[in-house]
Amino acid sequence: MPKLIKLAGDAAEWAEDIFTHVGDDDALPEGDVILSLARFQAEGEILLSNSRRVGVRIEPDQEVEALAYDLPRLSVVALAFPKYRDGRAYTSARLLRERLGFTGEVRAVGDVLQEQAGFMVRCGFDAFEPNDGATPEAWTKAAHRYRHVYQRAADSRPTAFEEREAFEERAV
Amino acid sequence: MYLYDPIDREFLIDRSNEFRHQVARRLAGELTDDQFKPLRLMNGLYLQLHAYMLRIAIPYGSLNARQARRLAWIARTYDKGYGHFTTRQNIQFNWIKLKDAPDILDALAEVDLHAIQTSGNCIRNVTADPYAGATAEEIDDPRVWSEVLRQWSTLHPEFSFLPRKFKIAITGALTDRAAVKVHDIGLILRKGRDGQIGFEVIVGGGQGRTPYVGPTIRSYLPAEHLLSYVEAILRVYNRHGRRDNIYKARIKILVAALGAEEFARQVEEEWGKIDAARANLPASELARVRAAFAQTNFEALPAVSETFEAARAASPALQRFVRNNVKPHKQSGYAIVEVSLKAIGQTPGDATAEQLEVVADLAERYSLDDLRVTHAQNLVLPHVKLDDLPTVHAALEAAGLATANIDLASDIIACPGLDYCALANARAIPIAQDIAKKFADPDRAEKVGELKIKISGCINACGHHHVAHIGILGVDKKGEEFYQLSLGGSGAEDASIGRILGPGLSADKVAPAIDALVDAYLNIRADDERFLDTYRRVGLEPFKEAVYAQAD
Amino acid sequence: MKAITANRLIDGEVVFWKAGAWVEGFGDAQLFDDAQDADVETVVAAAKAQPTVIVDPYPIDLAPVPGSVDGGLAPVSYRERIRALGPTNEPTHGKQAVGGEVIEALRHAAGAARSTGRVDLIRRK
């Protein structure tokens, strides 16, 4: 199992993973679990009512809108990258944060590489299961490689145009 | 011209440092080639047949003299003394070493140039009308919106891993010099009924394996909503574009599969959910970008220049140059000057370091420090005083840059083809050279008139052959080069996709076939009809006969 | 006959395998006859596994150059001949700049398939 990296403020650090990824045919273990969307839709109600924490894994061809009504009860939404080149999870993450108001953990799973750290953090991911052996130090560095960003996203970084405006106000 | 501020500059430095780090890891063996390839591609660095090729972005085809001189310096220092301008208004260097690439990116960053997003499945360099800010027919300056899109799309966190590459082109004029109808998104600036400015939005045009003229999905989008609307289009594409088959992954396939109406409906639905206030650019930033392009230093000049009139009366060469390469300017006493990179027998779109420096000097002295690249692989001095035209013409002539053939048969678009490109099936450059020689006589070329010949060395269609009046596609048959001709395409405002003429021809038969097509056209054209219009009137048959009929 | 080619990682230069090393000239390439296909596979597999010297190694087919008296060989595919020479539009760029017999032979080699292309399809009435 890959180790889990989580954001704590601006820095990334190792975190203990209290969740178990449970396949559709696996026996249900004790404790907190991350399930597929199908298994969540079938068994989620019962699991949530027996005071476990529950997360759902969303594949790229599944729409996060399917979780809209359940989000307040979910602890984790894990978004899958079958290949790092498959960019659909970036949209899913932004929609979770910016449109559906999800405040729990958004975790990147699958082909998760440090070269993608900056994009992921900006889209609202805050937990990562790196596939390339990245350390939290490497992750933090990769996520902050750029001093400026040009567009609004799910993070709170000021954009280039906001920085310019602030600079001009200071000058006045 | 838009000038980079400290924020833009720090961004380029960060980019360059990141790539230097990645190259070092690759050379040390810490990254495999599979891991490194997408990283170098994101910096425009390809591995071609003989060396690495670096594709440098020239946003909306606009350069100043300092930037052009730096490109010349790179050509001389790191390449073999020349560069190749492309159909995306970029420049490519063919002989780059991987170990030099980080130094080159640093040298580019010093003059506000970069190679960001010149490859990869992301939003590529935005292209625009090369006459922007100079032509009288312009509704609004497309560079303003291109720059807005450039910044917005740069390392976009959500749209850097799209199903496939994504190209946007903008024109502010009705005459389309940016081929907007064959782009993933084409934007035409329009005046609204309220007098405000907006865009006609075309989505899903394209060339390559499956060419389409894009449908209009919205006839009028108020300009200030551009970013939110483009975000909606990209989001629908990112979620629903095909990822299972590289040949079916462009947005054109999605638009065609859904139908333009249903695609438009999905975009509008998504657009309705976007928080416009957050997604659109604040008016203050738009005003800042707009102000950067406002050209305030034109002189008040009479519409007629006595110096120029006297010079052209005395020089048939200048007269010919003016007829073909000089276009009307919005400002009285000024003209737009096209600099042809299609001297007969030359590699289309190539410029030597010396030529780049000549053009840089001319741009600085005679064109308000402004130089443009066209998608037809030529250069433009957009703001030349009529008084200066004779001097500019003489300087261009001395540098081998005064070929008076813009839009004529020898002004041929050609991709690098099999002489350089790892994807090519056949050569394009020597075919272009052969054809140009058939039109070396400028009187004949002018008699034929506008004739756009475009050559691609493979089905990816970098040479725009689908939208050529005469298109030529190189194919490989058992290790030998063959060429398929098509007629009747256009990448302009009357966009259309060409139709295949007949079976492929071997390399030595292409130029004679073009000759035969042109002779047939001259025999049947009515009045001053262009080749394209004659074809549209009479169809393929007379041309088929001209090429494939047995000699008597 | 076969040879093995690749591009050098650090500068992209076209290289050919020669008994344990990568060399720049096609004329210096080690030749493998049809009985040595297993050796070719071994070299290519080992080349793919090395991390930092070359990228993308693969075997190329060779054929005799027509009219060559000494049995000179050239790559069958046109693409490979251009890789061994340099771009045809700039005859002084790339490997061809050195000139010599091997370069001349490569320039005059022909592909496996010779055909003139079909014209004369329509009978004039």
Is B273's CB within 8 Å of A99's CB?
yes
pLDDT 10s digits, B73-93: 999 999 999 999 999 999 999
Indicate which of B52, B419, B473, B500 best probes the interface with C, i.e. most C CBs within 10 Å of its own CB: B419
Which pLDDT score is estimated for B129?
A: 98
Ramachandran area for residue B314 (φ above 0: left; ψ -120 to 50: alpha; else beta): alpha
Question: A103, A122, A128: which is closest to A6 by C-alpha?
Answer: A128
Distance (Å, rounded) from C-alpha B198 to C-alpha B201? Answer: 9
Number of domains in chain C: 1
Kindly identify which residue of chain B lies nearest to residue C85, measuring between CA atoms: B50
Q: What would you report as the CA-atom Rg of chain B, rounded to the nearest whole angstrom?
A: 23
**How far is the alpha carbon of B71 from chain C, nearest alpha carbon, in Å?**
20
Are B170 and B142 a contacting pair, CB within 8 Å?
A: yes
Q: Chain B neighbours among A 64-93 (CB < 8 Å)?
A: 84-88, 90-91
Please list every residue in chain A whose beta carbon sits closer than 8 Å to the beta carbon of residue B39: 115
Q: What is the mean pLDDT of chain B?
A: 97
Which pLDDT score is estimated for C61?
A: 94
Question: What is the domain extent for residue C80?
Answer: 2-122
pTM: 0.95
Which pLDDT score is estimated for B522?
A: 97
pLDDT 10s digits, A6-27: 999 889 999 999 999 999 999 9
Are A57 and A78 a contacting pair, CB within 8 Å?
A: yes
The mean pLDDT value for B35-64 works out to 96
Please list every residue in chain C whose beta carbon sits closer than 8 Å to the beta carbon of residue B348: none
Long-range contacts of B540-544 (CB under 8 A, 24+ apart): B540/B487, B540/B488, B540/B499, B540/B501, B543/B487, B543/B501, B543/B517, B544/B501, B544/B502, B544/C122
Please list every residue in chain B whose beta carbon sits closer than 8 Å to the beta carbon of residue C118: 503-504
- Integer CA distances (angstroms), B45 to B56, B94, B100, C113, in order: 9, 10, 11, 34
Which pLDDT score is estimated for C120?
A: 52
Which pLDDT score is estimated for C71?
A: 67
The model's confidence at residue C125, banded by pLDDT at 50, 70 and 90, is very low
The model's confidence at residue B480, banded by pLDDT at 50, 70 and 90, is confident
Residue B211 CB: number of other CB atoms within 10 A?
22
Sheet of B326-328, strands arranged across: B62-63, B371-373, B379-385, B334-339, B326-328
**How far is the alpha carbon of C84 from chain B, nearest alpha carbon, in Å?**
9
Distance (Å, rounded) from C-alpha B46 to C-alpha C84? Answer: 19
Question: C106, C100, C50, C47: which is closest to C78 by C-alpha?
Answer: C106
The model's confidence at residue A51, banded by pLDDT at 50, 70 and 90, is confident
- Integer CA distances (angstroms), B202 to B212, B214, B364, B439, B462, in order: 11, 6, 36, 36, 20
User: Could you tell me which chains touch chain C, where touching means 3 or more CB pairs under 8 A?
Assistant: B
Asked whether residue A155 carries a pLDDT value surpassing 80, the answer given is: yes
Tell me which of B25-39, B332-346, B397-411 is least confident. B25-39
Tell me if chain B has a CB within 8 Å of the CB of A146: yes
The model's confidence at residue C115, banded by pLDDT at 50, 70 and 90, is very low
Kindly identify which residue of chain A lies nearest to residue B237, measuring between CA atoms: A88
Asked whether residue B433 carries a pLDDT value surpassing 50, the answer given is: yes
Tell me if chain B has a CB within 8 Å of the CB of C63: no
Is B157's CB within 8 Å of A122's CB?
yes
Which pLDDT score is estimated for C101?
A: 87
Is A149's CB within 8 Å of B155's CB?
yes
Tell me if chain B has a CB within 8 Å of the CB of C90: yes
Burial of B439 (C-beta count, 10 Å sphere; 0-12/13-18/19+):
buried
Indicate which of B2, B3, B4, B7 best probes the interface with A, i.e. most A CBs within 10 Å of its own CB: B7
pLDDT 10s digits, B528-550: 999 999 999 999 999 999 999 86
User: Could you tell me which chains touch chain B, where touching means 3 or more CB pairs under 8 A?
Assistant: A, C
Kindly identify which residue of chain C lies nearest to residue B479, measuring between CA atoms: C77
Tell me which of A45-49, B51-55, B158-162 is least confident. A45-49
Is B162's CB within 8 Å of A87's CB?
yes
**Does chain A touch chain C (at least 3 C-beta pairs within 8 Å)?**
no
Through-space distance between the first and last CA atoms of chain B, rounded to whole angstroms: 60
The model's confidence at residue C113, banded by pLDDT at 50, 70 and 90, is very low
Is B14's CB within 8 Å of A99's CB?
no
8-state DSSP, B61: G
Distance (Å, rounded) from C-alpha A55 to C-alpha A33? Answer: 6
Indicate which of A146, A167, A168, A172 best probes the interface with B, i.e. most B CBs within 10 Å of its own CB: A146
Which pLDDT score is estimated for C6?
A: 98
Are C3 and C57 a contacting pair, CB within 8 Å?
A: no
Kindly identify which residue of chain C lies nearest to residue B49, measuring between CA atoms: C83
Asked whether residue B361 carries a pLDDT value surpassing 50, the answer given is: yes
Through-space distance between the first and last CA atoms of chain A, rounded to whole angstroms: 55
The complex's ipTM? 0.96
Is C120's CB within 8 Å of B509's CB?
no
Sheet of B45-47, strands arranged across: B45-47, B52-56, B91-96, B82-85, B350-352
Which pLDDT score is estimated for C114?
A: 44
Are A10 and A35 a contacting pair, CB within 8 Å?
A: no
For chain A, the maximum distance between any two Cα atoms, rounded to a whole number of angstroms, is: 65
Is B239's CB within 8 Å of A63's CB?
yes
Of B7, B10, B158, the CB nearest to A164: B7
Distance (Å, rounded) from C-alpha A10 to C-alpha A13? Answer: 10
The mean pLDDT value for C100-120 works out to 67
Comparison of pLDDT for B35 and A92, the residue scoring more = A92
Of B429, B478, B502, the CB nearest to C112: B478
The model's confidence at residue C72, banded by pLDDT at 50, 70 and 90, is confident
pLDDT 10s digits, B496-518: 999 999 999 999 999 999 999 99
Which pLDDT score is estimated for C102?
A: 87
Asked whether residue B1 carries a pLDDT value surpassing 90, the answer given is: no
8-state DSSP, C31: P
The mean pLDDT value for B295-322 works out to 96
The mean pLDDT value for B243-264 works out to 97
Which pLDDT score is estimated for A49?
A: 86
Is A91's CB within 8 Å of B239's CB?
yes
User: Could you tell me which chains touch chain A, where touching means 3 or more CB pairs under 8 A?
Assistant: B
**How far is the alpha carbon of C87 from chain B, nearest alpha carbon, in Å?**
4
